[in-house]
Amino acid sequence: MGNKIIVPFGSQHVALPEPVSFLFETQNEVITDVTVNIGYVHRGIEKAAITRFEYTQLPYLVARVCGLCSITHAGAYTHGIEKLLGIETNKKIDYLRMLVVELDRIHSHMLANGHVAEVVGYENLFMQTFRYREDVMDILERITGNRVQYDYQIIGGVARDFDKETEDFAREKLLTLKANTEKLIEFFENDYTFALKTKGVGTISKEMAEKFNAAGPIARASGLETDARAEYDYLPFEEVGYKLQTRTEGDVWARNMVRFDEIMNSIEMCLNILDGIPEGEHRVKVKGRPDGETFVRVEAPRGECFYYLKGNKTKVLERVRIRVPTYANIPVLKELFVGEKYSDAQAIVLSFDPCMSCTAR
């Protein structure tokens, strides 16, 4: 019979990069109950979007909900508003938007894998991953002007045009990145000590993923085939070589491998897009006011992101509802902790790739 101790994996912790707080009830180092507390960074963005800003200024506000997936929030909002205003975009705009969305996915997945390596104890691998990630940031800085907040998708098109010099620069860096990523995959897949800490830890079976409606790479690592790029037609992904990647084991190691598979697929897609950008204008004319309601689902690097917009012919919208993928994965996380050892808690939380500024917006 052991003692019951309550241990906080709190909002301030050495291994935790996000402001979330868990209270574990443990008995002999095995967790028996969890209390979750989110909401440390609530800024009231949904309320500000319907009182203080007009609908033309909202792509800039909504992009600042999160730092890593900022292009998906701006993209989802512009897709919704273009439906309400009745604007049709041409093929060149779609290809340029797809290019920046896929580059954003590459850099976000490399950051997530680097952090898992860091908390497991392998700090050298974390440094190498971040060094190779700098190539992607250089390409993004040349295309959009900034490393993190792109401000690239606006209502009616994209902000800047794309010329030949940028295309040659991007292609050269992408080929270097491909060779470097293959070196990294060899480490993550075959290393003996890394496998001891990540294989068999935090397993989610396929039935559990279906019962709790998980989203994103977490569901795909357990064998559930769900992806908003395949289920919802918002950009022409099939034309440039998109494939859905799954694995069946469902533990921390499998989630890392799914992210690497997606990185290799995204590099292929970016090279195909660079070979086939059509001619045309990079912006379309915008007029009118939004009226009606619409539902949008896009694929962020962490899962499926959902937007609901409602307008009534004035300059200020009536309702903006945002549901982010980490929000949908927190119930799964709460169920998963029961029965695991306390020392594995860091690897499990970081393999879920949490983004708390999206969750408590």
Name the residues that contact another protein, by CB under 8 A: 37-39, 42, 44, 46-47, 53, 56-57, 60-61, 79-80, 82-83, 87-89, 94, 131, 134, 138, 141-143, 145-146, 151, 154, 159-160, 210-213, 225-226, 230-236, 294-297, 306, 308, 310, 318-319, 321, 323, 327-328, 330-332, 360
Nearer Cβ to another protein (32/312): 312
Listed in sequence order, the residues at least 6 apart from 12 whose beta carbon sits closer than 8 Å to its beta carbon are: none
Return the closest-CA partner of residue 344 out of 70, 119, 162.
119
Q: Report residue 218 CA to chain centroid gap.
A: 12
Minimum Å gap between C-beta 348 and another protein is: 17
Nearer Cβ to another protein (119/204): 204
Minimum Å gap between C-beta 2 and another protein is: 29
Nearer Cβ to another protein (119/139): 139
Tokens, residue 307:
């937007």
Q: Residue 152 and residue 330: Cα distance in Å, rounded? A: 30
340 is in an annotated binding site: no
Q: Is 161 helix (H, G, I), strand (E, B) or coil?
A: coil
Nearer Cβ to another protein (38/69): 38
How far is CA 22 from each of CA 9, 13, 51, 218, rounded to the nearest angstrom?
5, 11, 34, 20
Decide: residue 286, CB within 10 A, 0-12 exposed, 13-18 middle, 19+ buried.
middle
The alpha-carbon radius of gyration of the chain (Å, integer) is 21
Minimum Å gap between C-beta 230 and another protein is: 8
Do the beta carbons of residue 268 and residue 241 sit within 8 Å? yes
CA atoms within 13 A on the CB side of 157: 14
Minimum Å gap between C-beta 3 and another protein is: 27
Nearer Cβ to another protein (4/321): 321
46 is in an annotated binding site: yes
Edge-to-edge strand list for the sheet holding 303-312? 291-300, 303-312, 319-323
Minimum Å gap between C-beta 323 and another protein is: 4
270 is in an annotated binding site: no
Return the closest-CA partner of residue 295 out of 356, 238, 209, 231.
231
Tokens, residue 81:
């508003």
305 is in an annotated binding site: no
Q: Report residue 149 CA to chain centroid gap.
A: 14
Minimum Å gap between C-beta 183 and another protein is: 11
Minimum Å gap between C-beta 342 and another protein is: 24
Listed in sequence order, the residues at least 6 apart from 130 whose beta carbon sits closer than 8 Å to its beta carbon are: 110, 111, 114
Nearer Cβ to another protein (5/36): 36
Minimum Å gap between C-beta 39 and another protein is: 4
Nearer Cβ to another protein (95/260): 95
Buried b (16+ CB within 10 A) or exposed e, 157-168: bbeeebeeeeee
Nearer Cβ to another protein (42/199): 42
Would you list which residues are annotated within the binding site for Ni(2+)?
Answer: 66, 69, 355
Known binding-site residues for Mg(2+) equal 46, 322
Task: Cite the annotated binding site for Fe cation by residue number.
Answer: 69, 358
| Binding-site residues from annotation | 46, 66, 69, 322, 355, 358
